[in-house]
Structure 1
Amino acid sequence: MGMDASTRRRAGEHAYARLRDDIQSGALPPGSVLGEVEQAARIGVSRTPLREALDRLESEGLVVQRSPRVTVVADVSLGQIRDLFAVRRALEERAASLAAERSDAERNAFAPLADAFERSDVTDDVAAYYARVAELDAAIEAAVANAFLARALQPIRAHLGRIRRLASDRPERLRASAAEHALIARAIAAGDGDLAAHATHVHLHHALASVELALAPDSPDAATGRTP
């Protein structure tokens, strides 16, 4: 007997989340072949929800179908990253500005986040830092409360984890990035939309410059594929 719709949906969500995490973490690096039988067995789902998960990942650009039977993890090029950041700037700058325009009650999460970015030494726990960045992103999306904007940002967020790992974060860049996030959060808390958008623009400018530096052809990180 086949699984019911809700069970299949849960299995598909599980397969999608597992594959996406593995791609972002580097456990499945660019070029990895994602055989349906092997991946379904590894994750513990049937092939139907596995195919649905692969379809979602393909729509986000994380995997590509090389043939009807061969799906692989997508490559990441510097050109693609630059294109991604161009779209990211447009969406995230506007989102930060809109969040700053919300009521005081809708902005009450941002001052504590700014404090947290300012207090901690990001290099002590890089994973905790990225969790805090994700918390800020979620707080901005919640304040804006625009489902269309949230959906537009979702595929961009899907790529950021593996871009960070490919770029190999440097301690000095991590500290600067924490200060930039603190300023974004502080500007939103103060209701200053112009500053929030500008601080986001500056952060993304420096973030892309750091990626370009790390992935340049003569960079040691590009040659070794070192991850943080």
Structure 2
Amino acid sequence: MRASDRAYRTLRTEVLDGSLEPGTVLQEVEQATRLGVSRTPVREALRQLAADGLVDASGRGAVVTALSRDDIAALYELREALEAKAAALAAQRGDAVPFLLIRDRLLGAPQLLAQGEPGLVPYFDIVDDLDDAIEEAAANPFLATALRSVQLHSARIRRFSRHNPERLRAAAGEHLLIVEAILARDAELASQATHVHLHMSLTNALATAPGTVGEADEGTALGPRVA
């Protein structure tokens, strides 16, 4: 793997999981030293992150972008349009085998979530695999491209539910209903189940997010951090 690809994947993961908080200034020299690469791969990685919308490369350098409540609501408006359509297409076009396997894994989700933090990684792996299976089953490359962009930003919001076991258990049930609808070849139910899941997810995100992702809880913006 190229050094620029390694740097991009590492920085992207850190932005998505919140290790690099919104407002953090990503300076090339510091990041190159930290990641053990030269400045050129870091520069390329930052350009890609800017293209993803995860950093703002204008002005004072590359700064991890924030998500306001309005941003979150707008993102979910797009998610509903894209993901509901993708689920409906998956019900019409998809092979049942991947969804049967995912259904079996989802049935074990309560046991994973009962483990607390150690169970979150395998649980979210199931969710990611479901997203991939729906994308493949929908068999629409233009829709797939749009879905990947939306899911990238959605991953930043996911952490709001990490410490809410009740919401995680409910979400697992919602994902299971989507899978059951796809297996039943019921496109309308798959679409509606996706709408319900996203509505509940948005409600939780808005209830638990600060005014802007990267702001202090009292609503005062954090000053820029350098990393």
TM-score with structure 2 length normalisation? 0.85
- 1:145 aligns with 139
For the 8 Å contact 1:123–1:174, the answer to whether it is kept is no
Looking at structure 1, the residues matched to 199 and 163 of structure 2 have their Cα atoms a distance apart, in angstroms, of 15
- 1:3 aligns with none
> Are residue 52 (structure 1) and residue 44 (structure 2) matched?
yes
Name which of structure 1's ranges 136-145 and 177-186 shifts more when overlaid on structure 2: 136-145
**Structure with larger RCO (C-alpha < 8 A, sep 6+):** 2
- 3-state SS, counterpart of residue 26 of structure 1: coil
Name which of structure 1's ranges 30-39 and 160-169 shifts more when overlaid on structure 2: 160-169
Looking at structure 1, the residues matched to 108 and 136 of structure 2 have their Cα atoms a distance apart, in angstroms, of 24
> Are residue 94 (structure 1) and residue 85 (structure 2) matched?
yes
Looking at structure 1, the residues matched to 8 and 58 of structure 2 have their Cα atoms a distance apart, in angstroms, of 19
- 1:4 aligns with none
Report how many aligned residue pairs link the two structures. 210
Q: Judging changes above 3 Å, is the alpha-carbon distance between structure 1 residues 123 and 162 closer, same or farther for their aligned structure 2 residues?
A: farther
Looking at structure 2, the residues matched to 61 and 169 of structure 1 have their Cα atoms a distance apart, in angstroms, of 26
> Are residue 203 (structure 1) and residue 197 (structure 2) matched?
yes
For the 8 Å contact 2:23–2:65, the answer to whether it is kept is yes
Letter in 2 for 1:118: L
For the 8 Å contact 2:120–2:162, the answer to whether it is kept is no
> Are residue 16 (structure 1) and residue 8 (structure 2) matched?
yes
1:110-133 deviations in whole A, cap 9, x for unaligned? 122123212331242122111110
Looking at structure 2, the residues matched to 58 and 155 of structure 1 have their Cα atoms a distance apart, in angstroms, of 13
Give the CA deviation at 1:55: 1.6
Letter in 2 for 1:24: L
For the 8 Å contact 2:161–2:168, the answer to whether it is kept is no
Alignment of 1:23-172 (within 5 A): 23-67=15-59, 70-102=61-93, 106-121=95-110, 122-124=113-115, 125-166=119-160, 168-172=162-166
Structure 1 segments unaligned to the other structure (5+ residues):
1-6
1:161-215 deviations in whole A, cap 9, x for unaligned? 2212245541111111000000111111121111111100100000000011112
Structure 2 segments unaligned to the other structure (5+ residues):
220-227
Name which of structure 1's ranges 171-180 and 141-150 shifts more when overlaid on structure 2: 141-150
Give the CA deviation at 1:224: 8.6
Give the CA deviation at 1:85: 0.6
Question: Percent identity at matched positions?
Answer: 46
Give the CA deviation at 1:152: 1.0
Q: Judging changes above 3 Å, is the alpha-carbon distance between structure 1 residues 167 and 117 closer, same or farther for their aligned structure 2 residues?
A: closer
> Are residue 189 (structure 1) and residue 189 (structure 2) matched?
no
1:119-152 deviations in whole A, cap 9, x for unaligned? 3312421221111100101111121232222211
TM-score with structure 1 length normalisation? 0.85
